[in-house]
Amino acid sequence: MIQAILVFNNHGKPRLVRFYQRFPEEIQQQIVRETFHLVLKRDDNICNFLEGGSLIGGSDYKLIYRHYATLYFVFCVDSSESELGILDLIQVFVETLDKCFENVCELDLIFHMDKVHYILQEVVMGGMVLETNMNEIVAQIEAQNKLEKSEGGLSAAPARAVSAVKNINLPEIPRNINIGDINIKVPNLSQFV
Amino acid sequence: MLGYDISWAAFNIIEVMSASKFTFKRVGYLAASQCFHEGTDVIMLTTNQIRKDLSSPNQYDTGVALTGLSCFVTPDLARDLANDIMTLMSHTKPYIRKKAVLIMYKVFLKYPESLRPAFPRLKEKLEDPDPGVQSAAVNVICELARRNPKNYLSLAPLFFKLMTSSTNNWVLIKIIKLFGALTPLEPRLGKKLIEPLTNLIHSTSAMSLLYECVNTVIAVLISLSSGMPNHSASIQLCVQKLRILIEDSDQNLKYLGLLAMSKILKTHPKSVQSHKDLILQCLDDKDESIRLRALDLLYGMVSKKNLMEIVKKLMIHVDKAEGTTYRDELLTKIIDICSQANYQYITNFEWYISILVELTRLEGTRHGHLIAAQMLDVAIRVKAIRKFAVSQMAMLLDNAHLIASNTQRNGICEVLYAAAWICGEFSEHLQEPHQTLEAMLRPKVTTLPGHIQAVYVQNMVKLYASILQQKEQSEEKDAAQEITQLMIDRLPQFVQSADLEVQERASCILQLIKYIQKLQTKEVPVAEEVIALFAGELNPVAPKAQKKVPVPEGLDLDAWINEPPSDSDSEDEKPKTIFHDEEQRHSKHRQPEIDEEELARRREARKQEQANNPFYIKSSPSPQKRYQDTPGVEHIPVVQIDLSVPLKVPGIPMSDQYVKLEEERRHKQKLEKDKKKKKQKKEKKGKHRRHNSLHTESDEDIAPAQQVDIITEEMPENALPSDEDDKDPNDPYKALDIDLDNLVSGKPHRPLADSEKLPVQRHRNAETPKSPEKEEIPVIEKKSKKPKKKEKKHKEKEREKEKKKEKEKEKKGEDLDFWLSAAPSAASTAQSPNEPSLNTVMAVPEDYEEPKKEEREDEDDDEEKKSSKHKKKKHKKEKEEKSKDKKKSRKKKHPSEEEQVEAIQNGTLDDEPLPPMSSYCLLAENTFIKMTYDIQGNLQKDSQVTVSVIFENKSDSFLKSMELNVLDSLNTKMSRPEGASVHDGVPVPFQLPPGISNEAQFVFTVQSIIMAQKLKGTLSFIVKNDEGSTHEKLDFKLHFSCTSYLITTPCYSDAFAKLLESGELSMNSIKVDGISISFQHLLAKICFHHHFSVVERVDSCASMYSRSIQGHHVCLLVKKGENSVSVDGKCSDPTLLSNLLDEMRETLAKC
């Protein structure tokens, strides 16, 4: 079983966080932070396996990661997964991203977070490896994108979805999100039409 | 999402999930999968939505729903949707099939009851034509088997076939990993595996596969305890391959190689030890993960010969290590390595003690307590070392300021605990006890943690006692009084301690010493009595000893000794008892001065009592273990070393000295031995001389420096040897430990009990389709039928030989047995001398496979053992009974659950058992197929009904390409997949093997629901058998009764009354004569067949309510006369009401 899949950049900013086991948000943040610090210390030419992600699982679990340009791809897996197999899986995932986004870069992950998740969902489902054949994955993703296009994309929102978004209680969302020294201002969202 | 809480949007997410467009549905499910979890309360609202999406004609809707569900499945969702997912496992699209298969694992985890009914189909999927589905099924079974391997042994032949045929590396890796888990349970499997695995190792180019193969071969080798001739060859192959991995420049391979190496080490340390150079080299690697792995390996590689050398290397690493975690790891490893197997590799304990002392100089380690525990353990158990240990500990105490001064070194001050205790307990070995006592009385000590101070205080008295004795013996009265005065002066600082333990001990002791002082001034000799306080030796007790003390017969530890206090009382009394306690404590403080005689008398009495008590771990089993006369210590030759200089200077590692000394000693020994041998050999002829130069020093040759007597830890008498305490009762995987064998084999020994079947949507009482599992015959079995006969004959011969081991076998057992023994028996024909050994191998698992319960029974009817025929029959009977019992017990388990469901469904709370009812009625039937159907209204959509049709294959042929078509009317239309015309049929999403039944659902749109409808339709399908395939048709009429538009809706009596008062409802009534069944059953029938719920019931009169999918209210008043029933109805639509009542009349007339 895969317990979690984390993608973060060289500065520890999470770009994709996918837990297959429930953790409260604070713990999730802590895990991302701790994992980042563990991974950051390591040179590129030492082994890609790490033991002792004390927060997730325990001794049965390993962190398996790969570093691509500005991004770290970290998988937390238990002993039922083959270590080298997971390394290959990361490679498959990254190559699929590359194919779907045509030269993927960190910005793609930021602006198309949903798409990245959809791709991941075709590779790993509920913590178990679903498909490892890249052509198959890409074919399914493209078929779904086509279906989406035929529906007119997000702009053709039906009344119910519009009302759902309208009903979101915007004042409840915190205006300012403070993470350490970074201060993010939430822009005033214009009404959804 | 991305680490931020979005639970506030949960409800909106559900709204987006229920959007009809895929675009939005996908977004909704993605959000849900990120933020929903078991605690999300709105999750129960999604059940119907998910069910709808799962049965959606669009495969991507289904896929998205499955993916989402896999992330937030809860026990409730799993229970409600298990059946739907089961159906999807045989979907036409492989894309859906693989997802459905994969998600079943999650469902099993949350709802273990679903495992048995779903397993046959899961097994079927192992041979799916699509590689993706196959890999998913392998994945799920591997996960299941990893937790409870023994239930999946019977799948081994199937997996073996897959392993030899599959080319997908992913699947191969999974299967090979699975075999690794299975082999420990079945040694014969390992034998069969070795050959194909070694072939794979030789042939594969994929490193990942190679690695897993090596791993499994290792597991196989571990499981095979008996020596096989080709055994060592495979080990050599593994080790050699691993060496290639370790020497590879890729750090990942290096790491994995070390990991696998450590597995070999456990069983075959010799073959790993030859690679010591490589592993020591890895210790210098820059990668911490690799260093840690190498450390693990070192543990198994030490011998008496190289221990010192290895530890010396490690000590160098300790000094160099940067991170504290790594250093701590090194420290624990050093201790582990040295202490393993009861210190069997340590030849010189002085060296070990000095290593421990050196380790105390580590900065900021967390493992002070480990070092302390080692010091205590060694000092207590190795008598010969006590003198040396005490001198070292005294030095530590003297330099306590170095250890305790730095607050950062917090962990290490634990060693002072050990030091103080050792100095106190073995004070007779101290050179300068006075100096040590002063060291312990320093004001600085009060900064130490409480528990350490407490030990200090306690051991000061021991020291004091021994000094006192010394002085009195040498008649130095002044010196004795001086030391007493010192104690009285310094002890008050401990009396003021904030720690209660320290305070109490200090004040007790202070009073005692004041009393001694009084006696001293009267010139009474007191030393003997003071030292008697600490007489007797403490024996080491095994850590689990207390737990292992067996509970004596007739003692119930859970029983109340006194009457349990009532709840209300305890609250009032609590504060009282607290004060009471405190008072008692104060009173204790006030009267510590009990005169010596009284003390002695009490001690004597206690000793007597202890001696009579068999459960007390005796403090002094033999008088020779007393302090005063320990004869063992004196005449043990201790190597005299002049340690005075290095010992006094802390900071200089001195363990190295021991290494040198040890080497010298060994060298001397060797020389002596060689001399002797030479003398002996000189007498012989020159031929043998060469051996001398080749002579290698084996472990046994090294005599330990001291005659070491390692005392084993004490255990209570008749302690239970079990080690059960390690199991975790909360293991979620435990629930999945379900015996699946009966399902897998052809004979259904234990058919699925009713309660085990998956809950089908809403019609729980329906005559559920005969579970397909029963009729299924696994493919392998067919293939192996012929040779089995031979096998049986072979076995019979064996049985004659070994009548004792004769036991009845299950069919499944034979199947597996046959498969496993096929290869070896073939080999045995070639080489007959091997046969006896084979027999024994085969005989063992026979016992093994027999379920434990039966063994118990066997013992019971031992007398009948001789007549095996009798026994067989009996066994079968017993088994049947047992399976019945199991059914019963299973049913009993969930009565509350079932009742609850019933209550919601029928709206009645019945105490009487109801006769079984089915809402499924016959749709059409011919020689090939039988269709039964049931219609349910849809709550969300006011104009949709779902028709569930059960297709049952009655023929011996395979039915496929089934298509259901209905001639739409103006009012009622079947919903077809997008793009299909009105005349196209809807494909049934599965195929039917012979004897199998399955359920499909079709959605119909209805405009007006006030009239019953009939639709003509056709089912077309292809019958495929040996002769070829034919196209067949079956016509049917689908009857939509008005009842099927009703939905059971509970209603409160006040709302019901208001509804009746409103006057908007029209009325109608019927009367049916000749009713004989009880009113209770009558109501249940109306509830079940007509979807009503009971609002109120008074004697033989009841009001009932229901609602149509389009919102019509229907109210009934049912009265029962002598043998007639009258029903008055009120409804917002008169036509609907009269139609409903007509239908009801029909139902009632049947009663």
Q: What's the farthest any 2 CA atoms get from each other in chain B? A: 129
Query: Is A169 a member of any domain?
Result: no
Do A154 and B4 lie within an 8 Å CB cutoff?
A: no
Give me the amino acid identity at B777: I
Nearest chain A CA: its distance from B34 CA (Å): 7
Give how far B1013 is from chain A: nearest CA, Å: 33
- Contact across the interface for A125 and B16, Cβ inside 8 Å: no
Does the residue A11 lie in any domain? yes
Report if residue A184 sits inside a domain. Answer: no
Q: Which residue has the higher pLDDT, B400 or B422?
A: B422
A85 interaction partners in chain B (CB closer than 8 Å): 169-170, 173, 208
Residue A168 counted as domain residue? no
What residues contact B1137, with CB distance under 8 A and at least 6 apart? B1066, B1067, B1068, B1114, B1129, B1130, B1131
pLDDT at B573: 44
Angle between helices B785-801 and B811-830 (to 10 degrees): 80
Q: Report if pTM > 0.95.
A: no
Confidence of residue A177 (pLDDT cuts 50, 70, 90): low
Interface test with B, best of A128, A141, A170, A182 (most B CBs within 10 A): A128
Subunit contact B98:A46, Cβ cutoff 8 A: no
Question: Percent of chain B, pLDDT > 90?
Answer: 0
Among A14, A154, A160, beta carbon nearest to B23: A154
pLDDT bracket for residue B624 (50, 70, 90): very low
User: Does the beta carbon of A60 lie under 8 angstroms from any beta carbon of chain B?
Assistant: no
Number of other residues whose CB lies within 10 A of the CB of residue B615: 10
What is the rounded CA–CA span in Å between residue B130 and residue B132?
Answer: 5
B380-412: buried (b, 16+ CB within 10 Å) or exposed (e) per residue?
bbbbbbbbbbbbbbbbbbbbbeebbeeeebebb
Contact B208 A88 (CB under 8 A): yes
In angstroms, the separation between the Cα of residue A82 and the nearest Cα of chain B is 7
Grade residue A94 by pLDDT with cuts at 50, 70 and 90: very high
Identify the closest residue of chain A to B26 by CA–CA distance.
A118
**Domains in chain A, number:** 1
Distance CA B1120, CA B1082 (A): 9
B197 to B131, B220, B267, B614: CA distances (angstroms): 22, 10, 19, 56
Q: How far off is chain B from A108, nearest CA to CA, in Å?
A: 16
Q: What phi-psi label fits residue B342: left (phi over 0), alpha (psi between -120 and 50 degrees) or beta?
A: left
pLDDT over 80 at B899, yes or no: no
CA distance B709 to B386: 12
Would you call A2 helix, strand, or coil by DSSP?
strand
Tokens standing for A26? Answer: 């604070």
> Quick check: B484 pLDDT over 70?
yes
Distance (Å, rounded) from C-alpha B116 to C-alpha B752?
8
**Predicted confidence band of residue B37 (pLDDT cuts 50, 70, 90):** confident
Give the structural domain span for A127: 1-149
Residue B1052, pLDDT score: 77
Q: Is the dihedral of CA B366, B368, B373, B375 positive or negative?
A: positive
How is residue B795 written in tokens?
């076995």
| Chain A residues within an 8 Å CB radius of B25 | none
Q: Percent of chain B having pLDDT more than 70?
A: 67
For B29, which residue in chain A has the nearest alpha carbon? A118
B560-564, B857-861, B996-1000 — which is least confidently predicted?
A: B857-861
Which backbone phi and psi does B497 adopt, to 5 degrees? -60, 150
Cβ distance B102 to A167 less than 8 Å, yes or no, reads no
The one-letter amino acid code at B703 reads A
| CA atoms of B477 and B54, how far apart (whole Å) | 96
Q: Do B38 and A126 touch (CB under 8 A)?
A: no
Q: What is the DSSP string of B206-247?
A: -HHHHHHHHHHHHHHHHH--SPPTTHHHHHHHHHHHHHHHHH
Residue A107 domain flag: yes
Hey, is the C-beta of A176 within 8 angstroms of any chain B C-beta? no
Contact A126 B254 (CB under 8 A): no
Closest to B1079 measured CA to CA, from B1123, B1112, B1109, B1032: B1123
Q: Is residue A120 part of a domain?
A: yes
Is residue B957 over pLDDT 70?
A: yes
Which positions in chain A touch B21 (Cβ < 8 Å)?
A: 151, 156, 158
Nearest CA in chain B to A85: B208
Test A164 with B12 for CB contact under 8 angstroms: yes
pLDDT at B363 over 50: yes
CA-to-CA distance for B1019 and B1030, rounded, in angstroms?
14
C-alpha dihedral sign at B78, B83, B86, B88 = negative
What percent of chain A stands above pLDDT 70? 75
Token pair in block for residue B1116: 């009934």
Contacts of B131 in chain A (CB under 8 A): 133
* CB < 8 Å to A1, chain B: 143
Query: CA distances (Å), B104 to each of B67, B82, B83, B599, B1103, in order?
Result: 12, 8, 10, 71, 43
Q: How far is A81 from chain B (nearest CA, A)?
A: 8
Which amino acid is located at B564 in the chain?
A: P
Element (H, E) at B423: helix B414-425
Confidence at A119, pLDDT banded by 50, 70, 90:
very high
Residues B1053, B1060 contacting (CB under 8 angstroms): no
Q: Are A125 and B287 a contacting pair at CB < 8 A?
A: no
Contact of A35 with chain B, judged by CB distance below 8 Å, is answered with no
Q: Does A154 contact chain B (CB < 8 Å)?
A: yes
Q: Among B26-40, B277-291, B502-516, B830-844, which is the least confidently predicted range?
A: B830-844
Cα gap B102→B140, rounded to integer Å: 6
Chain A residues near residue B85 by CB distance under 8 angstroms: none
The mean-pLDDT minimum among A188-192, B653-657, B746-750, B1052-1056 falls in B746-750
ipTM summary value = 0.83
Contact check, Cβ <8 Å, B70/A125: yes
For residue B31, give the chain A residue with the closest CA.
A114
State how far residue B1117 is from chain A, nearest Cα, in angstroms. 40
Q: What is the DSSP string of B8-59?
A: GGHHHHHHHHT-SSHHHHHHHHHHHHHH--TT-GGGGGGHHHHHHHHT-SSH
Cross-chain Cβ contact A85/B170 below 8 Å: yes
Q: Measuring CA to CA, which residue among B281, B299, B303, B277 is closest to residue B290?
A: B281
Contact call for residues B998 and B1097 (beta carbons, < 8 A) = no
Q: Which residue of A has its CA nearest to B290?
A: A47
The C-alpha atoms of residue B1114 and residue B413 are separated, in whole angstroms, by 81
pLDDT of residue B636: 43
d(CA B970, CA B175): 56
- Please say if the pLDDT value at position B906 is more than 70: no
Contacts of B249 by beta carbon, 8 Å cutoff, 6+ apart: none
- The label of the residue with tokens 């004979």 reads B747
Cβ contacts (< 8 Å) between B260 and chain A: which residues? none
CA dist B214 and B230 (Å) reads: 16
Task: Among B58, B70, B173, select the one facing A85 at the smallest CB separation.
Answer: B173
Q: What integer is the mean pLDDT of B85-89?
A: 87
Domain assignment present for residue A9? The answer is: yes
Cβ contact B28:B13 at 8 Å: yes
**Cβ–Cβ below 8 Å for A128 and B105:** yes
Q: How far is CA B760 from the centre of its chain?
A: 31
Q: What band does B599 get if pLDDT is binned at 50, 70 and 90?
A: low
B816: phi then psi, degrees, rounded to nearest 5:
-65, -40
What whole-number distance in Å separates Cα of residue A63 and Cα of residue B644?
51
Interchain proximity B251–A51, CB inside 8 Å: no
- Contact A58/B at CB under 8 A: no
CATH of the domain at A124: 3.30.450.60
Transcribe B925-937 into DSSP letters: E-SSEEEEEEEEE
Separation CA B145–CA B735 (nearest Å) = 13
Q: How many angstroms away from the CA of B552 is the closest CA of chain A?
A: 39
Average model confidence (pLDDT) for chain B? 71
Question: Which residue did the predictor score with more confidence, B546 or B695?
Answer: B546
Residue A104 CB coordination number (10 Å): 20
Residues of A in contact with B37 (CB under 8 A): 22
Q: How far is A1 from chain B (nearest CA, A)?
A: 8
**A38 interfaces chain B, CB cutoff of 8 Å:** no
Q: DSSP letter string over B519-531?
A: HHHTT---HHHHH
Of B3, B170, B255, the CB nearest to A49: B255
Q: Please check whether residue A17 touches B, CB under 8 A.
A: yes
Q: What is the pLDDT of residue B734?
A: 64
Query: In the structure, what pLDDT confidence band is assigned to residue A73 with cuts at 50, 70 and 90?
Result: very high
Distance between CA atoms of B119 and B123, rounded to whole angstroms? 6
A162: contact with B, CB 8 A cutoff? no
Taking CA atoms, A191 is separated from A162, A169, A170, B995, B1074, in Å, by 10, 12, 10, 59, 68
DSSP secondary structure letters along A98-134:
HHHHTS--HHHHHHTHHHHHHHHHHHEETTEE----H
Which pair of structure tokens corresponds to residue B54?
A: 């799962």
Check CB contact under 8 Å for A128 and B139: yes
What are the chain B neighbours of A8 within 8 Å (beta carbons)? none
Is A51 part of the contact surface with chain B (CB cutoff 8 Å)? yes
Interface contact A126-B102, CB threshold 8 A = yes
H or E element, residue B946 = strand B944-953
A42 located within any domain:
yes
Amino acid at residue number B1103: S
